[in-house]
Amino acid sequence: MIDKKELEQVKKGKANWEAGTLGKTLSKQGERREVFTSISGIPIERLYTPEDVKDLDYGKEISFPGEYPYTRGVQPTMYRGRFWTMRQYAGFGSAKDTNARYRYLLEQGQTGLSVAFHLPTQAGYDSDHPLSMGEVGKVGAAIDSIDDMRVLFDQIPLDKVTTSMTINAAATVLLAMYLSLAEEQGVPFDKIGGTIQNDVLKEIICRGQYIFPPKPTMRLTTDLITYCQKNVPRWNSISVSGYHIRESGSTASQEMAFTIADGIAYVQACIDAGMDVDDFAPRLSFFFNVFTNVCEEVAKFRAGRRYWAKVMKERFGAKNPASQMMRYHVQTGGVTLTYQQVLNNIVRVGLQTYAAVVGGCQSLHTDSYDEALCLPTQGAVLVALRTQQMVAEESGACDTIDPFAGSYYVEALTDQIEAEIDQYIKKIDEMGGTLVAIDEGYIQKEIQNSAYIFQKEIESGERAYVGVNKYIMEEPPATGLLKVDMALGEIEAAKLKKLRAERDNAAWQKALDNLREVSKTDENVMPAVIEAVKAKATVGEVCDVWRELFGEYRPKEFV
Amino acid sequence: MADKKIKIIVAKPGLDGHDRGAKLLSRIFAEAGMEVVYTGLRQTPEMIVEAALQEDADVIGLSSLSGVHNHFFPKVMELLKEKKLDDVLVVGGGIIPLEDIPGLKEVGISEIFGPGTPTPTIVDYITNNVRS
């Protein structure tokens, strides 16, 4: 806190400055606009001074890295110890195509893997299902069975890299395959590390890759978390995701608030399932977006860490410091990339990378500049990875911890975003919790409304967007785009036919029957899923067992 | 024309869940005085054409971001022809490379709107080209 006398002087000084120096300039020339706002619409003052942070209690609200409330970061040394994990999200075509991309990225200095599964896998359908037609290998790798998984990680030792898997409704099945593969490689479960997204609430809110209704899905989610807590101790068993919330149009504060609301729902579900909070909370992780407005993003991350620490300590009574730490992966904002003047995206990603790092991320994916057009080409992925390496090695962002702390602006904005998060959480609590708020469409409508406001601002020219509404020019169509072979669907279907003909169908049937019986009880499904995938049950076959038992989710649309 | 509202089906074919654009445009079309039916996610071409038939729609707006447009859009056109719904105006939008646009127009998609298109451009196009 700042000395009262000093504060008086600042106040007086500012009044003098406004009347004198500033007044003279303003009388000659006005400012570029009447009101300045961040990308998220937060009003921005002309100048921030100690007055704007006068109520800030350093010891309580800011404190030190690695200490509660973790405003300055979750590790005591942050990037002075080691850099974040550079983890590019990648996957397209067949398991073999994707394996080649992984090995290329690892050779270029990437330090972790991140699997993009194609939409049929995400929706729990095999590549030969009628609904998979046209989708096979398009936006991720086509993975149907443990045989595909084996090819995906060919010559990649699972005890040497950590892997993140973007899979939600079908998370148990894909994790079961990964664990079986580790076993084949002779790697014990306590030696493998990584993250599985396993966050279906945000699928219901905004991303659309749901399969089953919320209740049975929450059961699968908690089964996976419980299983990992006992058997795969280094595995992050959920990645509560705000990334897609932001992509759908939310503001920075809404992204953080709704993600924390989802996090609260998962923690409560695990507690309701009989777990002690400190048993599983250390392995909860998060996933956020980052846009181009650097200070707002840094403030968002700092506010989120602080708020989550308070939630865990005060609301859930978590005692283990690791339970109170918000650890997260960041991906640069896909939706911010423009189709127009596509090379400009390299600069957008550069600024976003810097914001993510100054904000204190644990791992990072940088988008490739051509993602506004197609799947990233190898050259574009390399620039994206090099962007991370330049921020790490050249920018100086990693030499001291939380370098923007103490900035009057960033501290004031951190407070403001935290207050907005708190308002949303209180409102959602009043409604009866996250599941009720989602069911009533409250969260969805808030996000859609922000998307609408943003669109109007771009169209009116109120907010500048280089290449889109300002500095526009004619361009020839882009060439050399990455395209997935349309014939891949048939190739994958033929592989599945062979798999079904050659596997031990008695063992397969027995494993699926067992899975069905276990799923009817309260027993953890993970061991039965592992047995099923080892018996070469496919993603679609396992999910069909649950479709039959649990039904399929059909959302209400709130447009 | 002035007393009859334009009826538009907004649809997302395939398994993709990115519906920010589809939902945003549904709101914009409604504000422009159109009657909007948003089908929701995971629509097959059959479901989309059936909706157009049932609703007696004037326009179908297709949205695609996951590179499946070359598969789904022509399929929708084929089914419309089969059902003799030749007077329905079909437009598309999303992440569609410019080089794919001529092929889509050849099968009868009237216009493709890429990312960054101002929404009034889309509304005007529909209002000026609707066939019934």
CA–CA separation, A508 and A539 (whole Å): 13
DSSP secondary structure letter of residue A20: I
CA–CA separation, B94 and B18 (whole Å): 10
Residue from the list B15, B40, B95 with its beta carbon closest to the beta carbon of A119:
B15
For residue A374, the distance in angstroms to the closest alpha carbon of chain B comes to 7
> Nearest CA to B90 among B131, B44, B30?
B131
Position B1 pLDDT exceeds 60: no
CA–CA separation, B49 and A148 (whole Å): 35
Residue from the list B24, B26, B41 with its beta carbon closest to the beta carbon of A455:
B24
Q: What is the mean pLDDT of chain A?
A: 96
pLDDT in tens, A53-101: 999 999 999 999 999 999 999 999 999 999 999 999 999 999 999 999 9
Backbone angles phi, psi at A386, to 5 degrees: -60, -30
CA–CA separation, A74 and A327 (whole Å): 7
Write down how long chain B is. 132
pLDDT of residue A38: 95
Count interface pairs A-B at CB distance under 8 A.
102
CA B85 to each of CA B10, B11, B13, B104, B125: distance values in angstroms, whole numbers, following the listed order: 16, 17, 18, 18, 20
- Cβ of residue A133 closer than 8 Å to a chain B Cβ: yes
pLDDT of residue A477: 80
Q: Any idea which residue has 């709704």 for tokens?
A: A258
pLDDT in tens, A265-298: 999 999 999 999 999 999 999 999 999 999 999 9
Question: Does pTM surpass 0.90?
Answer: yes
Structure tokens that stand for A509 in this block = 């049937």
CA–CA separation, B42 and B18 (whole Å): 11
Position A476 pLDDT exceeds 90: no
Instruction: Report chain B residues whose CB lies below 8 A from the CB of A122.
Output: 15
Task: Give mean pLDDT, residues A429-452.
Answer: 97
For residue A279, the distance in angstroms to the closest alpha carbon of chain B comes to 34
Residue from the list B44, B114, B119 with its beta carbon closest to the beta carbon of A459:
B119
> Nearest CA to B57 among B81, B87, B30, B82?
B87
Instruction: Report chain B residues whose CB lies below 8 A from the CB of A134.
Output: 14, 68, 71-72
Strand ranges across the sheet with B59-64: B35-38, B7-11, B59-64, B89-94, B111-113
For residue A482, the distance in angstroms to the closest alpha carbon of chain B comes to 10
Position B132 pLDDT exceeds 80: no
* CB spacing of B19 vs A208 below 8 angstroms: yes
Instruction: Judge contact between B26 and B54, C-beta under 8 A.
Output: no
Percentage of chain A lying above the pLDDT 70 cut: 100
* CB spacing of B19 vs A247 below 8 angstroms: no
3-state secondary structure of A248: coil
Structure tokens that stand for A16 in this block = 């003098």
CA–CA separation, A559 and B22 (whole Å): 9
DSSP A465-525: -BTTTBS----PPP-S-B---TTHHHHHHHHHHHHHHHS-HHHHHHHHHHHHHHHHSSS-S
First to last CA, chain B: 9
Instruction: Report chain A residues whose CB lies below 8 A from the CB of B99.
Output: 477-479, 481
CA–CA separation, A224 and A228 (whole Å): 6
pLDDT of residue B2: 53
pLDDT of residue B3: 64
Q: Which residue of A has its CA nearest to B96?
A: A373
- Region of A226 on the Ramachandran plot (φ > 0 left; ψ -120 to 50 alpha; else beta): alpha
Instruction: Report chain A residues whose CB lies below 8 A from the CB of B98.
Output: 477-478
Instruction: Judge contact between A121 and A140, C-beta under 8 A.
Output: yes
pLDDT of residue A393: 98
CA–CA separation, A392 and A389 (whole Å): 5
Instruction: Report chain A residues whose CB lies below 8 A from the CB of B114.
Output: 339
Backbone angles phi, psi at A288, to 5 degrees: -125, 165
pLDDT of residue A484: 83
DSSP B53-110: HHHT-SEEEEEE-SS-HHHHHHHHHHHHHHTT-TT-EEEEEES--GGGHHHHHHTT--
CA A187 to each of CA A179, A224, A522, A536: distance values in angstroms, whole numbers, following the listed order: 9, 20, 30, 20
SS3 content of chain A, % helix, strand, coil (to 5): 55, 10, 35
CA–CA separation, A78 and A80 (whole Å): 6
> Nearest CA to A241 among B93, B55, B17, B106?
B17
Q: Which amino acid is at A430?
A: E
Handedness of CA A11, A13, A14, A19 (dihedral sign): positive
Instruction: Judge contact between A264 and A315, C-beta under 8 A.
Output: yes
pLDDT of residue A481: 84
Q: Which residue of B has its CA nearest to A342?
A: B115
Position A437 pLDDT exceeds 80: yes
Alpha helices by DSSP H, listed for A232-337, are 243-247, 252-272, 277-280, 294-310, 321-324
pLDDT in tens, A133-152: 999 999 999 999 999 999 99
Structure tokens that stand for A446 in this block = 């808030």
Task: Give mean pLDDT, residues A9-23.
Answer: 97
The 10 Å CB-count burial string (b at 16+, else e) for A420-451 is: bbbebbeebeebeebbebbbebbbbebbbebb
ipTM: 0.95
pLDDT in tens, A224-257: 999 999 999 999 999 999 999 999 999 999 999 9
Q: Which residue of A has its CA nearest to B98?
A: A477
Going by pLDDT thresholds of 50, 70 and 90, the confidence category of residue A483 is: confident
Q: Which residue of A has its CA nearest to B101?
A: A477
